[in-house]
Amino acid sequence: MRVGVLAYESCLAAEIFVFTDLLLIANRVATGVADRASTDPFQVSVIAVSGTPVVAAGGFSIGTRECHRDIDHLVVPGFELVPSEDPASRLSLWNREIDFIRTCEARGVRVSSVCVGAYLLGEAGLLDGRRCTTSWLYGTDLAGRYPTATVRTDSLVVHDDGVTTTAAFTAALDLATALVREHLGDKVARTTARIALAPENRTSQSPYVVDSMLPVKHTQFAEDVGSWLVERIAEPYDLDLLSDAFRVSTRTMLRKFRDETGESPRAYLQRARVRKAKRLLESTDWPLGKILGHIGYQDPGTFRRLFADRVGISPADYRKRFRNGA
pLDDT tens for each residue of 123-140: 999 999 999 999 999 999
Q: How distant, in Å, are the alpha carbons of 258, 270, 296 from that of 241?
A: 18, 17, 16
What is the structure's pLDDT at 210? Answer: 86
Residue 79, φ and ψ in degrees, nearest 5: -135, 165
Every domain of the chain with CATH number 1.10.10.60 lies at 216-322
Q: Is the pLDDT of residue 52 over 60?
A: yes
Average pLDDT over residues 288-298: 93
Query: Is the model's pTM score more than 0.85?
Result: no
Q: Which of 77-91, 97-111, 176-190 has the lowest mean pLDDT?
A: 77-91
Q: Is the pLDDT of residue 291 over 70?
A: yes
State whether CATH 3.40.50.880 applies to domain 2-206. Answer: yes
The region that residue 168 occupies, defined by phi over 0 for left and psi between -120 and 50 for alpha, beta otherwise, is beta
Measured between alpha carbons, how far is 291 from 282 in angstroms, rounded to an integer? Answer: 11
Is 269 within 8 Å of 233 (Cβ atoms)?
yes
Domain at 216-322: CATH architecture: Orthogonal Bundle (1.10)
What's the distance, CA 121 to chain centroid?
Answer: 15
Q: Which helix (H) or strand (E) segment is 112 a member of?
A: strand 110-113
What pLDDT band is residue 324 in, cutting at 50, 70 and 90? confident
Strand ranges of the sheet holding 65-66, from the earlier edge strand across to the other edge:
65-66, 43-48, 2-6, 73-76, 110-113, 163-166, 157-160
Measured between alpha carbons, how far is 128 from 124 in angstroms, rounded to an integer? Answer: 9
Percent of the chain beyond pLDDT 90? 78
Radius of gyration of the chain (CA): 23
Average pLDDT, the chain: 92
Q: Which of 29-43, 75-89, 182-196 has the lowest mean pLDDT?
A: 29-43
Every domain of the chain with CATH number 3.40.50.880 lies at 2-206
- Mind listing the pLDDT tens digit for each residue in 241-276? 999 999 999 999 999 999 988 889 999 999 999 999
Residue 56, φ and ψ in degrees, nearest 5: -80, 170
From the list 79, 81, 83, 78, the residue with the least C-alpha distance to 212 is 83
What pLDDT band is residue 33 in, cutting at 50, 70 and 90? low
Percent of the chain beyond pLDDT 70? 96
What is the structure's pLDDT at 36? Answer: 52
What's the distance, CA 127 to chain centroid?
Answer: 15
Q: At what angle do helices 265-283 and 288-295 cross, to 10 degrees?
A: 140
- Mind listing the pLDDT tens digit for each residue in 53-88? 999 999 999 988 887 668 999 999 999 998 888 898
Average pLDDT over residues 2-22: 96
Q: Is the pLDDT of residue 38 over 70?
A: no
Is 314 within 8 Å of 307 (Cβ atoms)?
yes
